[in-house]
Amino acid sequence: MPDVHVAIRSYKRAGRVTTLKLVPDATVWVPESQAAEYEAEYPGRVRAVPDERDGNVCRKSNAILDLAPSEWVLILDDDIRRICYWEGGRRHQFSPDHLMAFVRDSFEEAAAVGARLWGVNQNQDPMAYATQRPFALLAPVLGPFAGHLMDHGIRYDEVMFLKEDYDFWLQHIERYRRTWRVNKVHYIHDHGKLPGGVVGMRSLAAEQACAERMVRRWGSSVYRLGGTTGGRACKGNNPLNSLVRVPIPGM
C-alpha cells in the first residue's frame, strides 16, 4: 500500500497552525515567500510552494496534488482544533496515532469501493450521524478534510474559489459515480476566527457570484441556492446555505 502524505495547506498563519498538533508528522505547505517564517515555527515540517503556484486555496491544493510525494494524499486545513468520532452516544477525540490508523484504513476502504476521493462528516451535530448509515457514497466531501487517491485526474477550479470544494466533489461524482465518506467522524475548526487563510477573500458578493456559477455549471436541480438552516428551508437565494443534491440513486 502507498504511504500517506498528510499536507496542511496554510497561508499567513505561522505559529497558528492548530492542525499540526493533531497530526505532528504532517507537512505544512506554504508560499515560498512565507517559508522562512513558517520554518522558524515548525522546523523540518514546511514545504514551500512557488508563489506563482500559490495565492489562493485552489492553486495551493492543485500544487499539493501535483507535487506531493505519494499516491495517497490527505489535505487538511490549518485551523482544525479537533478530529472526533461518535460512539456509544459520546464524542471521542482521536489521538495522533489513532487518527493515522483511521486515515490509512479509510484510504484502503475508498480504494476497495472504487472511490478516488474520501472524507468525513462536515457536520459535528450528533443528529447528523445515523448509526445504521456509517458510510456514504454520495455525500459531500469538502476541502478542510479530503483524502485523494492519485492520480484521479481532477483539479480544483479557480473560478469557483469559494465553492471550489463542492465543485471538486461534484466532478468526482460525475466521473467516478461515488466518493467515500465516514459519517461518524467529524472535524471542529476555527473558520473565520483566525486572520490569514481565505478569510480576507470572502464577502457576500463573492459568495453570491461563486454560488451562481455553481448553478450555471451544475444546474439548479443539483446545486440550489437557499438550502436549509436548522432543518427549515431558507428564503431567497442565500449563497451561504445552498443545497446540493445528486440525482443518482444510492447511499
Q: What is the pLDDT of residues 207-238, one digit of tens each?
A: 888 888 999 999 988 988 765 444 444 455 55
What's the grid cell of residue 143?
Answer: 476541502
Point out the domain boundary residue: 193, 223, 239: 193
In a domain, 198, yes or no: no
Position 140 in a domain = yes
Q: Are residues 152 and 186 in the same domain?
A: yes
User: CA 209, CA 239: separation in Å to the nearest integer?
Assistant: 9
Instruction: Examine the domain organization and report whether 110 and 155 are in the same domain.
Output: yes
Looking at residue 238, its pLDDT comes to 58
Calculate mean pLDDT across residues 129-142. Answer: 90
Q: Which structural domain range is residue 19 located in?
A: 4-193
The proportion of the chain whose per-residue pLDDT surpasses 70, expressed as a percent, equals: 88
% of the chain with per-residue pLDDT over 90: 71
Q: How confident is the model at residue 86 (pLDDT cuts 50, 70, 90)?
A: very high
Separation of alpha carbons 27 and 25, rounded Å: 7
Q: What is the pTM of this model?
A: 0.89
Same domain, 123 and 75: yes
Regarding whether 135 and 26 lie in a shared domain, the answer is yes
**Which has more pLDDT, 194 or 37?**
37
Do 220 and 122 share a structural domain?
Answer: no
Domain final residue, candidates 174, 193, 212: 193
Q: How far apart are the first and last CA of the chain?
A: 27
235 in the same domain as 157: no
Question: Taking a C-beta distance cutoff of 8 angstroms, is the pair 170, 221 a contact?
Answer: no
Q: Is residue 242 part of a domain?
A: yes
9 inside domain: yes
Do 44 and 107 share a domain, yes or no? Answer: yes
Show Cβ contacts of residue 143 under 8 Å, excluding neighbours closer than 6 positions. Answer: 57, 61, 75, 77, 164, 165, 168
CATH label of the domain that carries residue 146: 3.90.550.10
Q: Within this chain, do residues 127 and 222 fall inside the same structural domain, yes or no? A: no
Question: Would you say residue 61 lies in a domain?
Answer: yes
Note the pLDDT of residue 230.
43
pLDDT above 80 (res 77)? yes
Cα separations (Å) of 241 from 200, 224, 251?
Answer: 20, 9, 22
For the stretch 155-202, pLDDT in tens is 999 998 889 999 999 999 999 999 999 999 999 997 655 555 554 455
3-state secondary structure the chain: CCCEEEEEECCCCCCCCCHHHHCCCCEEEEEHHHHHHHHHHCCCCEEEECHHHCCCHHHHHHHHHHHCCCCEEEEEECCEEEEEEEECCEEEECCHHHHHHHHHHHHHHHHHHCCCEEEEECCCCHHHCCCCCCEECCCCCCCCEEEEECCCCCCCCHHHCCCHHHHHHHHHHHHHCCCEEEEEEEEEECCCCCCCCCHHHCCHHHHHHHHHHHHHHHCCCCEECCCEECCEECCCCCHHHCEECCCCCCC
Q: Residue 109 falls within a domain, yes or no?
A: yes
Q: Tell me the torsion sign for CA atoms 33, 37, 38, 43.
A: positive
The structural domain count of the chain equals: 2
Q: Are residues 62 and 124 in the same domain?
A: yes
- Judged by average pLDDT, the poorest of 13-27, 144-158, 215-229 is 215-229
pLDDT at 27: 98
pLDDT digits (tens, 9 = 90+) for 98-123: 999 999 999 999 999 999 999 999 99
Confidence band of 29 (pLDDT split at 50, 70, 90): very high
Same domain, 169 and 240: no
Q: How far is CA 158 from CA 50, 58, 74, 125, 164, in A?
A: 17, 6, 20, 31, 7
- Please give the pLDDT value at position 142: 95
Between the alpha carbon of residue 87 and those of residues 91, 93, 146, 184, the distances in Å are 7, 11, 22, 8
Same domain, residue pair 163 and 214: no
Residue 165 and residue 234 in one domain: no
**Residue 251 or 15, more confident:** 15
pLDDT, mean of residues 17-36: 97
- Is 24 among the domain residues? yes
- State the chain's mean pLDDT as an integer: 89
Radius of gyration of the chain (CA): 18
